[in-house]
Structure 1
């Protein structure tokens, strides 16, 4: 019974491991682009599960105690809260962590380079237009890939006839 709560290393090792893995995964997710985060496909779900499995031993270092699990979970939640707190109060930190929206189209003109760079397929872009009831690209005033991976489409204002 005592093994359930007995740590295999000092408590601070678990905090350090959880912090290092949290930062590493955040950097990797940020580098993977907005679409990877905002538009989950079945393949993205598999990737997320595999990443969780891949970093598990890096976080717990082989420790299976409840105390270790509680320390790591608490550390991860506090880190996540801390990042949210800092990004809500500091624009530079927000840009670093979340990025900035990217213009995909403006004034009826699509920017293919921006679509490629942000890994947005033409089919995904066309779907976003359809979801916003846009039949013709000429009706688009602005299309943005938001930091959460969603595409926002703003249509031109048409004069009433």
Structure 2
């Protein structure tokens, strides 16, 4: 039993490391060859876990081979657009200039109902509002509405806007992020002084505190638990 547990942990750690090396894409964002490799890696890892008669190395070597293949294909795709088109394919234009492209639908084995369903997922309920719809190589649908159907932006109304950068998480579950404080050119003394203005004497009482690009601090205290 102990051997199975150890083998499982080794393979689990190996697969997690490999998936991190492959990148942070979600399953729905994987290219076809990446999805195939991910499925094969999971299958190869499962066999040595279930059968301890199979040497562990017999599972590790094929997994590392697939990782090498994935990195190689990705590198080739980065260096050559023609190779990437062969490996990953090209986007298909399902709607062009407001008109459904029936030939592309047949080629991709995509029904009109599938197209309408994906448009609804994109919060578009009238196909007449669509100028272009592209089926990306990872299977997701990108939609470009007609210009008169797009949401109004401040630029359309000539309204000036302020710059909005990413907020920095200063405290998460009572733990101070010294790295983010440094990025904001602040220190712990500033944080303690700011918290004291809100009647907070201990950062550990804070569930979350974040700093926006204008220097405003948002915070929420932890719920008090009765012992």
**Same fold, TM exceeding 0.5?**
yes
Q: Is the 2:28–2:140 contact (alpha carbons within 8 Å) kept by the matching residues of 1?
A: yes
More helix by share: 1
1:66-85 aligned within 5 A: 66-85=56-75
Shift of 1:133: 2.3
Which one of the candidate residues 122, 129, 143 is aligned to 1:153?
A: 143
Shift of 1:69: 1.7
- Considering only aligned residues, what root-mean-square deviation do their CA atoms show, in Å? 3.0
Which one of the candidate residues 86, 97, 107 is aligned to 1:107?
A: 97
Q: Unpaired segments of 5 or more residues in structure 2?
A: 1-26, 30-37, 48-52, 150-227
Post-superposition Cα deviations, 1:61-118, rounded to whole Å, max 9, x if no partner, equal: xx93222222111111111111111112211111010010010011221112211210
More strand by share: 2
- Per the normalisation by structure 2, the TM-score is 0.41
Structure (1 or 2) with the larger CA radius of gyration: 2
| C-alpha distance in 1 between matches for 2:76 and 2:70 | 10
**Which protein, 1 or 2, shows the higher relative CO under an 8 Å CA cutoff with sep ≥ 6?**
1
Q: Is the 1:128–1:153 contact (alpha carbons within 8 Å) kept by the matching residues of 2?
A: no
Are 2:133 and 1:143 aligned? yes
Across the two proteins, how many residue pairs are aligned to each other? 107
Alpha-carbon spacing, 1:86–1:49, altered in 2? closer, same or farther (3 Å):
closer
Are 2:83 and 1:89 aligned? no
Q: Unpaired segments of 5 or more residues in structure 1?
A: 1-36, 40-47, 58-62
Structure 1 runs of 4+ with >6 Å offset? none
